[in-house]
Amino acid sequence: MTARSDAPAFPLQAPAADVRATEEGAVMAILFALSFSHLINDMIQSLVFAVYPILQTSYHLDFGQIGLITLAFQCTASFLQPVVGFATDKRHAPFSLAVGMAVSLAGLVLLSRAGSFHALLVSAAMIGVGSSIFHPEASRIARAASGGRYGFAQSLFQVGGYGGAALGPLLAALIVVPHGQHSIEWFVAAALVGILILSAISLWYNRHLSGRRAAVRRVAAPTTLPRRTVGFAVAVLLVLVFSKFVYMASLSSYYTFYLIHKFGVGVQTAQVFLFAFLMATAVGTFFGGPIGDRFGRRMVIWGSILGVLPLTLAMPYLNLPLTGACAVAIGLILSSAFPAIVVFAQELMPARVGTVTGLFFGVSFGTAGVGAAGLGVLADHTSITTVYEITAFLPAIGLLAWFLPKLERRG
């Protein structure tokens, strides 16, 4: 009599579909964690802009000085990001993410305790340094965890940033306006959470992706386009980034002042309007990448930048409700371009993902900073209304998208 056995005659092995599902679940968890970390990072940096009305009153700042604070933040972020991206192309440094968040935390503490205009400049610059360390490597990890859905991964990563930028003014209205500058310290808890999450992401990256780096480099073959074509296309994309972010800077830095000056609303009401605009940019960012995956990056870039031109031209002449609605529509449409632009540039230079990402995030921050400073001077010499009458024409630069090459879609 033989013993009956229900065991299979071959070793048990997890089905390939189950393995793929497990891997995809882990990848999605990493993408959401990166997006949430981006939310924290950009929420911290948006506090700099959100507390401008408070700082203006406390330190008797003019618009030119407010523009210089923005410039201090944007310049450290813009100049360092391409350097960080180039360095991490040579040698990945995922644990630098937590270091960057720690630098932002220190800048946040200094901002809460600053007693002079110069201290405000230093605190803004420190937060910019932290941001410059964060973006290139975080974007690289998002691309590595994309499973080939590069637009979706870039959008999910960026939407966290826009969500954080939208939360900053709202939390400033609820916390900092009633409790004063020192209450900025309360946001240190968020930075500490960010450091913990980024440390965990870095551990995952080392454990799961270190063995794949060589394979990833082999797959990232150079583009077949001529070098001159690639260079010209990158230049066009950078000009489009300039037009987009200078206009966005006019809203993120001066929209509240515009509403207060033209319609006589209070600071908290103006902050709510700014929150609505910034939240619309988050929604637009989320959809820009997946639409680009499906229909092509060039179409998204073309439509999003030119599509806002009628709205920007009309906004300076609208009443308060229509101004708010128009700003929301502008944020929704215009923000969809950036994920498509970044992925388009990465596809032009697939072996230089960190450098390209750092360059485009850096240029976006730098042009926004220079634009904010210049627009502040313009507002001082003319009026805040004139700023929006002039910047309304910036989206017309989107016509240059006509010269972008048609890249073969990669799925």
Confidence of residue 210 (pLDDT cuts 50, 70, 90): low
Domains of the chain (ranges; CATH) run: 24-403 (1.20.1250.20)
The pLDDT, as a whole number, for residue 34 is 94
How far is residue 116's CA from residue 122's CA, in Å, rounded to a whole number? 10
Alpha-carbon separation of residue 368 from 242, 247, 253, 373 (angstroms): 8, 8, 9, 9
The pLDDT, as a whole number, for residue 278 is 81
* Cα-based angle 160, 165, 166 (whole degrees, multiple of 5): 95
The pLDDT, as a whole number, for residue 8 is 43
What are residue 299's phi and psi, to 5 degrees? -65, -40
The pLDDT, as a whole number, for residue 409 is 53
What are residue 351's phi and psi, to 5 degrees? -90, 0
Residue 15 CB: number of other CB atoms within 10 A? 8
- Segment 361-380 shows an average pLDDT of 79
Q: Judge whether residue 81 has pLDDT over 50.
A: yes
Name every residue whose Cβ is closer than 8 Å to that of residue 291 and which is 6 or more positions away in sequence.
Answer: 151, 300, 336, 340
Q: Judge whether residue 5 has pLDDT over 50.
A: no
Residue that has been written with the tokens 């020192």 in this structure: 182
Confidence of residue 25 (pLDDT cuts 50, 70, 90): low
Q: Judge whether residue 215 has pLDDT over 60.
A: no
Amino acid present at 274:
L
- Please give the residue that has the higher pLDDT: either 285 or 125: 125
The dihedral sign for the CA sequence 140, 144, 149, 153: negative
Confidence of residue 224 (pLDDT cuts 50, 70, 90): low
Total H helices, total E strands in the chain: 17, 0
Confidence of residue 408 (pLDDT cuts 50, 70, 90): low
What percentage of the chain has pLDDT greater than the value 70?
Answer: 88
Cα dihedral 370, 107, 56, 52, rounded to 10, equals 70
Alpha carbons within 13 angstroms on the beta-carbon side of residue 67 total: 22
- Please give the residue that has the higher pLDDT: either 48 or 10: 48
Confidence of residue 3 (pLDDT cuts 50, 70, 90): very low
How far is residue 387's CA from residue 249's CA, in Å, rounded to a whole number? 11
How far is residue 353's CA from residue 221's CA, in Å, rounded to a whole number? 12
Residue 409 CB: number of other CB atoms within 10 A? 13
How do residues 152-207 score in pLDDT, each as one tens digit? 888 888 888 878 877 887 888 888 888 888 888 899 999 999 999 999 998 888 77
DSSP 3-state of 407: coil
- DSSP code string of 285-331: HHHHHHHHHHH-HHHHHHHHHHHTHHHHHHGGGS-HHHHHHHHHHHH
How far is residue 128's CA from residue 87's CA, in Å, rounded to a whole number? 18
CA gyration radius, the chain: 22
How far is residue 394's CA from residue 246's CA, in Å, rounded to a whole number? 8
How far is residue 375's CA from residue 261's CA, in Å, rounded to a whole number? 16
The pLDDT, as a whole number, for residue 16 is 42
How far is residue 242's CA from residue 398's CA, in Å, rounded to a whole number? 10
- Segment 202-218 shows an average pLDDT of 62
Q: What is the residue-averaged pLDDT of the chain?
A: 81
- Segment 79-84 shows an average pLDDT of 82
Q: Which of 97-106, 136-145, 356-365 has the lowest average pLDDT? A: 356-365
